[in-house]
Amino acid sequence: MRLSIVLVILTINLLFLANLLGFIPDATKSSLELRKSLSESLALQFSVSAAKGEFQTIQSTLRAVVERNDDIRSAAIRSNDGKDYPFALRHNLIEQIKSINKKFPDYQSFKSASIFDIFGTNELKGADRLQANMMASVLLINNGNSTFTVQELPVEAQFSPVYAILAHDFDDDGDQDIALGGNLYNVKPEVGRYDASYGVFLENQGGLKFAAQKEGKGFKVKGEIRDMVLDGKTVIVARNRDSLALFKF
């Protein structure tokens, strides 16, 4: 049985949540279809990148695509009480679409506006709507018959986005354990930085049931972990704008 791990983090969820919306009222069918195929190919490319953990690639590609195409707008939304609200704040939207300033002259008028109030039901008719159904970091178990079993990792692995994964039999009992690292500081102030992870050691308790060790069996490290590599019986942890951390096991 082979193991693979899929990272599902909030930043990427937002990208997948983000619809590529057509906002031009007189958009022709062909341009809508063009947008649709572009969205599909981007989604495909991003799913491959996400599986490889190439989040920077996803972000830079999406940014480049949106910036180079004047008639493409992306809008991440979140739902509450049956209404869909934009994730972006008023000033962020106005940076991209100046006319919103006229329709919503102040934050008071914007605060309870749904995505339909802002862009209009007609203009959103041709938009594709993609929805993320799972926000957790999970283990995908390859069943070997073209199917996978999805297993949510323990809650300790969900405290913060995961950027680095190392699978190894750290306790030398014959089964593969998992070390995780992550965090993300460079986010907008309204989101708040993701800094709740101090590294996670998930011990395989047999039958692919993983349990987080509270003290991490000595694995505790602050910062934005971006990679972990093995050097014999040493784990080398690389962090953004910080020193390497070494852990012997």
Distance separating alpha carbons of residues 232 and 176, to the nearest angstrom: 16
Span from 35-43, 78-86, 196-204, 221-229 in contact with Ca ion (CB under 5 A)? 196-204
By C-beta, is 33 or 169 nearer to Ca ion? 169
By C-beta, is 183 or 204 nearer to Ca ion? 204
By C-beta, is 156 or 177 nearer to Ca ion? 177
Residue 17, both tokens: 């949540």
Q: Which of 84, 123, 175, 227 binds Ca ion (CB under 5 A)?
A: 175
Shortest distance (Å) from residue 167 CB to Ca ion: 10
- Residue 177 contacts Ca ion per CB under 5 A: yes
Q: Which of 169, 196, 209, 211 binds Ca ion (CB under 5 A)?
A: 169
Shortest distance (Å) from residue 227 CB to Ca ion: 21
- Residue 204 contacts Ca ion per CB under 5 A: yes
Q: Which of 117, 123, 171, 195 binds Ca ion (CB under 5 A)?
A: 171
By C-beta, is 46 or 170 nearer to Ca ion? 170
By C-beta, is 84 or 171 nearer to Ca ion? 171
Write the CA distances from 45 to 38, 40, 223, integer angstroms: 11, 9, 29
- Residue 117 contacts Ca ion per CB under 5 A: no
Q: Which residue in 132, 89, 116, 110 sits closest to 21, CA to CA?
A: 116
Answer whether 28's CB lies under 8 Å from 192's CB: no
| Residue 46: Cβ within 10 Å count | 20
Which residues sit at the interface with Ca ion, rule CB under 5 A? 169, 171, 173, 175, 177, 204
